[in-house]
Amino acid sequence: MIDDYLNGILLVITGWLSGVYVGIASGTAEAFMIPILTIFIGSSIYSAIGTSLVVDSIIGLIAGLIFLKKGNVKFKPVILLAIFGVISAYIGTNFTSGAPESALKGLIAIVLIVFGVNLLKNGVRKNVEYIESKINFNWFKNHKTLTFIIFGSLIGFASGFTGMGSSGAVTLVLIFILGYDLHTAIGTSLLMMFFITGSGAIGHSFIGNFIFDAALIAGLGAVIGASSGSIIANRIDEDKLGRLIGLILTIIGIVFMIKLFI
């Protein structure tokens, strides 16, 4: 445990890094918040998850509103997805205590690395075209109501259960099911994340898995980071943004994998 002054500085920096990462890459604050809270602050993994969800919710609101101002948010077509995401996120918080932590982190690490390397190598468009050539999304597109219920429930539950922000998963749904461009998909998913992770955070706070001071301090840094990250994301072209996302995801995935062995 380090002293309170250094804790505060560390949390502000962690919040800022989380805001930049999520604002640019539509990721999750979990990648930064949970390691810092558990290793340096001395938090339990369960409290770290709840606190991370609060920070993700703050980032989603700030960054989502910036994307909205830029015209890169289409929320109405996916309200059903958001509703089931919110409900399922709250439900997922009740199962966190029994989560197989090492196996879950290993799976997350593999997914991040594979997806990140593909984006880094091929950018966004080539990956979209490749996936569309291998998977027929017509059924999902023709049954949007059922698709939104299924994916909203799965994404929301995973968010509340593991502490991961929902933005990345929602972004993929919006791209492949609704055909959103990357900027609009990211902007819409970030705004949705405010509601989904907010629901998960509320659920965790009710069962005591929440560190108010840490969330407040990290949240201040997250506001600054989310603002700068989302502004950058709106100014670079889609292919460069995709490769940047790939680089960030690959690095985070490697860090996750290393953590399993230390």
Residue range 131-145, pLDDT digits in tens? 667 777 888 888 989
Whole-structure pTM value:
0.82
176-180 mean pLDDT: 86
pLDDT per residue as tens digits for the range 72-123:
999 988 899 999 999 999 999 988 766 666 766 677 678 778 877 877 877 6
pLDDT (tens digit, 9 = 90+) per residue, 148-173? 999 999 999 989 988 888 888 898 88
Distance CA 262, CA 259 (A): 5
Range in 9-23, 95-109, 176-190 with the lowest mean pLDDT: 95-109
* Contact (CB, 8 A) for 229 and 115: no
The three-point CA angle 174-178-183 to 5° equals 50
* C-alpha torsion 89→95→100→102, nearest 10: 40
- Whether residue 36 has pLDDT greater than 90: no
